[in-house]
Structure 1
């Protein structure tokens, strides 16, 4: 059994992590849920350390890196937060993994698989060598910025397309297209997977490998067979947009924020 501690100051995010842990194919047990630096330090000083800590970076009383300065943490660390693509690389160097919120089932499962490839001695050494100054510098004074528009090339001219005008993105034969609410389609120079990190997560959800949908484009959601969901959107498409069973729960939570 893998023992888990969750350090997260938002109760909905705590619940989401617990639910996602239940969905992955690992025998896990949450032995602690903390919501601040102070409570986490006290907990680590007085309790056996878990195998893995799911750690949000920005807590109500400061950056969670302070925990490591005040307590010797022997657990593997998986950061769970939202930040830019450049910071992700630094966090991955200093932890088992870095997962963008909302944490998806497949990504959490992959992080746990990585955990099995490390031994405890390596994890303790990694924690002691963690570069707090580099990580903190990526966070302090910086604000997450998502795309506001895309540069679109059309024949021999170009123009900007505001993100709020885009109803959905879809991928076909390796090309990603933006579809506006006015039913116009334009190619954009991003893969669908890379594009996900550039869009405001409150407004856009990556449904599957083919579609990212704007919440304003969704008219209704219908139950589908085998626990799947079918989207009814404001555009008429030849292909149905289906939310798989593995993403159905997180999609509903996204709608209910």
Structure 2
């Protein structure tokens, strides 16, 4: 079976390929692609072999994963991967499209693959393309209230799921994005701060400058200086003093007052 993984979280993509090979060593992963643009290019350049099954993330680097199905008029069966909550998942159930909740569980993956083999291998998909428009409409209406609620990170040789509510802030240091928990644990994540700002609830997280995206719950004190300059004390304390960028001061004050 030929599989295509379309996922912008590198750790998730790698874990998925590992679990697929553990389930069936003969499964061939044609590619791991992080964006709509790169996926469209891949299909243009790679006509054969065609994938028998897609694993498709909802939010990719540059757009919604559903756009790929729209653009290519795909009828290839899809298993969606998502980090969203139950009311969002209900949309997939209603439309009879399978999904995996991140972090991906081996048993749930096996069940999804067995469902694929039972329902799809003996007949072409008739419902995927027809359901995409409805799913897009639902997602666009719901996206303003649906945000990432956990992150999968690597600690040594282990994978761990970190709840968003346990994160104090994200920082960009030495070309690496780090998350810092309220307990002071610092872990690297495979996201840019720009991407994180899209995925997180803007009522709870604010990009105060080019290097820090902070949770409201992590702000201990805000100091004012002459000229309107703002310094932010965070808990746990970062390794340097943190100031709000001048062009963000007004919006930061509005955010703090909500």
Report the TM-score when normalising by structure 2. Answer: 0.52
CA contact (8 A) 2:36 2:62 kept: yes
Distance (whole Å) between structure 2 residues aligned to residue 99 and residue 141 of structure 1? 22
| Partner of residue 66, structure 1 | 67
| Partner of residue 163, structure 2 | 200
State the SS of the aligned residue for 1:54: strand
CA contact (8 A) 1:96 1:115 kept: no
Q: Structure 1 122/85 Cα, relative in aligned 2: closer, same or farther at 3 Å?
A: farther
Distance (whole Å) between structure 2 residues aligned to residue 8 and residue 21 of structure 1? 15
| Partner of residue 58, structure 2 | 57
* Deviation larger for 21-30 or 68-77: 21-30
State the SS of the aligned residue for 1:137: helix
Distance (whole Å) between structure 1 residues aligned to residue 43 and residue 63 of structure 2? 17
CA contact (8 A) 1:9 1:36 kept: yes
Distance (whole Å) between structure 1 residues aligned to residue 164 and residue 16 of structure 2? 17
Q: Structure 1 51/35 Cα, relative in aligned 2: closer, same or farther at 3 Å?
A: same
Q: Structure 1 9/139 Cα, relative in aligned 2: closer, same or farther at 3 Å?
A: farther
Distance (whole Å) between structure 2 residues aligned to residue 44 and residue 33 of structure 1? 12
Q: Structure 1 119/101 Cα, relative in aligned 2: closer, same or farther at 3 Å?
A: closer
In the TM superposition, what is the alpha-carbon distance from 1:25 to its structure 2 partner?
A: 4.2
**Unaligned segments of structure 2, at least 5 residues:** 150-161, 167-182, 184-258
Distance (whole Å) between structure 2 residues aligned to residue 54 and residue 115 of structure 1? 12
Distance (whole Å) between structure 1 residues aligned to residue 38 and residue 17 of structure 2? 19
1:9-49 per-position Cα deviation (integer Å, ceiling 9, x unaligned): 12222111111112224631101211110111222234233
CA contact (8 A) 1:50 1:75 kept: yes
| Partner of residue 84, structure 1 | 85
CA contact (8 A) 1:80 1:100 kept: yes
Distance (whole Å) between structure 2 residues aligned to residue 32 and residue 93 of structure 1? 29
Structure 2 counterparts to residues 149-160 of structure 1, below 5 A: none
Residue 18 of structure 2 corresponds to residue 19 of structure 1: yes
State the SS of the aligned residue for 1:79: strand
CA contact (8 A) 2:51 2:76 kept: yes
Distance (whole Å) between structure 2 residues aligned to residue 133 and residue 79 of structure 1? 13
| Partner of residue 29, structure 1 | 28
In the TM superposition, what is the alpha-carbon distance from 1:62 to its structure 2 partner?
A: 1.1
